Amino acid sequence: MDRFWPLILFGGLCIACQNSDHTDVQTFTPTLANWKFEEGMDAPPSVPDLSTAEWTDLRPQILDHFEREVYGEFPDKELLKTEDKVLEGPTRVFGGKGYRAQIVLTLEGRNGDQRKLLLLLYYPASVGTQKVPVLLNLNFLGNAATSEAPEIILSDHEVYTSRAEERGFINLRPTEKSRGIRRGRLPVEYLLAEGYAVVTAGYQDILPDDDAAARPIMESFYGLPPAETGAIAIWARGYHWLADYAERQSFFRVGHLVATGHSRLGKAVLWAAATDDRIRAVHVNNSGCGGAALFRRAQGETIGDITSRFPHWFRDKFHGWAHRDHLIPYDQDWLLASLAPRKVLIASATEDAWADPEGEFLGLREALPAYRSFAPGSNLPESMPAPQDGYAYGSGLVGYHMRRGPHDLQESDYRAFLALLKR
């Protein structure tokens, strides 16, 4: 069913939000209440066509809504201490094309405990003559899983994963067998050749991905009621902490932070970028429900599926929409719209029906009015495009990548992202 445009009344004049003549609405200061997110509507309100000033006013209200209704509260940013300890490097790697370093950051919890956040850093050899842009990344199975290099330190934190022993994890701890098992998901040599530095960390250094293990840490360490926060918000704060570290380094270009995340970390990087303007572009990969896909479609993973399997990911209030996807009065196109005027790549895969690729595409397409307010040339194909590895469909601030293959993060996804960044 078609999305509807609400009418806004002010000064005795009725103006439809889709009116593209912004000269008529300059005195209007939008509030989210103008778009009634009420249960029982045939469809959630559509993302409106507003001026750039009006979008600037509306954006914090959108973010407040998604914090209250979906993702929950963030941990205090100040839990990250500013003292960085270098554990290795800089070490020349890839035949002298770049350098590697390992750094440990300290998080100090509300209960006085500490968690160590182990960073793996790469930067191009050119850093001696010029400052470089930085790609931020949270990885799944710890830094050692991203490379076979024996020097990369194994995480001290518990790592929850399926097929643990097969992947080289014994008693929730990584072993030598786990080295390099996810190396394809972070093509460091390619990124260095493109002039990017890379900062990555294991997401479970921040919070374990297990409901029973996570909730006590949410409460005691992060000082947040588990019902009012979610793991995605805490992992999103992890991206913010990576940005804090990157900004302190003199050889990184200020204002040139970009970020990528896959699957559940695609959800996290979307929320992280939406809530931190320092992230100037974001690559949201195979993110599905709670990421770029539209809830109302209820294709692939639904709200009921995700909240029953991973109840710790979202605040408890969001669980109320389980098995009621068709009634939810807001959708992810509004969150995607809040990223404008920054660049966004949404990436899908042909064999990833669980993430609803068409829903991911439509989420960004329905957010286009916001991007066009800032960059009128921003556009996407009218309908779902064919797979083309490494190609970013679209123009202006937005891109969509459809890769052949399964639910994964591959070099072609990064190629599409960097193609968008070069526009």
pTM of the model: 0.93
Contact 37, 330 (CB under 8 A): yes
State both tokens at 176: 């030598």
Whole-angstrom distance, CA of residue 236 vs CA of residue 276: 10
The angle at the Cα of 405, spanning 402 to 409, to the nearest 5 degrees, equals 75
Stretch 33-40: mean pLDDT, rounded? 82
Residues in Cβ contact with 238 at an 8 Å cutoff, skipping those fewer than 6 apart: 117, 138, 201, 203, 206, 268, 272
Query: What is the dihedral sign for C-alpha 55, 355, 278, 220?
Result: positive
Strands 169-170 and 173-174: antiparallel
Annotated catalytic residues are 263, 407
For the domain that residue 82 is a member of, what is the CATH number? 3.40.50.1820
Residue of 258, 256, 260, 265 lying closest to 236 (CA atoms): 265
Whole-angstrom distance, CA of residue 142 vs CA of residue 156: 10
- Say what angle helices 52-66 and 264-274 make with each other, to 10 degrees: 130
Residue 174 domain-assigned (yes or no)? yes
Q: What confidence tens digit (pLDDT) does each residue in 119-133 have?
A: 999 999 988 788 999
Whole-angstrom distance, CA of residue 94 vs CA of residue 332: 40
Strands 252-262 and 279-285: parallel
Q: What confidence tens digit (pLDDT) does each residue in 286-344 have?
A: 999 999 999 999 999 999 999 999 999 999 999 999 999 999 999 999 999 999 999 99
Statement: residue 353 has pLDDT above 60: yes
DSSP character for 111?
T
The angle at the Cα of 374, spanning 369 to 375, to the nearest 5 degrees, equals 90
Whole-angstrom distance, CA of residue 233 vs CA of residue 325: 21
Whole-angstrom distance, CA of residue 280 vs CA of residue 282: 7
Contact 328, 296 (CB under 8 A): yes
Contact 289, 306 (CB under 8 A): yes
Residue 306 domain-assigned (yes or no)? yes
Q: Between 83 and 230, name the one with better pLDDT.
A: 230
Stretch 134-158: mean pLDDT, rounded? 97
Residue 20 domain-assigned (yes or no)? no
State both tokens at 9: 């009344």
The angle at the Cα of 421, spanning 236 to 385, to the nearest 5 degrees, equals 90
Q: What secondary structure does DSSP assign to 125-160, as a single string?
A: GGGGTS-EEEEEEEESS-GGGG---TTSPPPSS---
Whole-angstrom distance, CA of residue 126 vs CA of residue 193: 10
Statement: residue 19 has pLDDT above 50: no
Whole-angstrom distance, CA of residue 309 vs CA of residue 289: 13
Q: How many CB atoms lie within 10 A of CB 221?
A: 21
State both tokens at 69: 């209704």
Residue 24 domain-assigned (yes or no)? no
The residue range of the domain holding 307 is: 77-421
Residue 139 domain-assigned (yes or no)? yes
Query: Strand pairing partners for 203?
Result: none
Residues in Cβ contact with 367 at an 8 Å cutoff, skipping those fewer than 6 apart: 47, 333, 334, 336, 337, 339, 340
Whole-angstrom distance, CA of residue 423 vs CA of residue 418: 9
Whole-angstrom distance, CA of residue 160 vs CA of residue 189: 28
Stretch 177-186: mean pLDDT, rounded? 97
Tokens 């009418």 belong to residue: 7
- Say what angle helices 231-247 and 264-274 make with each other, to 10 degrees: 60
Residue 409 domain-assigned (yes or no)? yes
Q: Is 93 helix (H, G, I), strand (E, B) or coil?
A: strand
Stretch 13-23: mean pLDDT, rounded? 37
| Total residues belonging to the chain | 423
Residue 124 domain-assigned (yes or no)? yes
Residues in Cβ contact with 160 at an 8 Å cutoff, skipping those fewer than 6 apart: 172, 204, 208, 209, 210, 213
Tokens 């770049």 belong to residue: 98
Residue 6 domain-assigned (yes or no)? no
Q: What confidence tens digit (pLDDT) does each residue in 365-390 have?
A: 999 999 999 999 999 999 999 999 99
Domain count within the chain: 1
High-pLDDT (> 90) share of the chain, %: 87
pLDDT of residue 28: 60
Statement: residue 349 has pLDDT above 70: yes
pLDDT category at 29 given cuts 50, 70, 90 is confident
Which residue type sits at 197?
A: A
Stretch 396-400: mean pLDDT, rounded? 98
Contact 17, 48 (CB under 8 A): yes
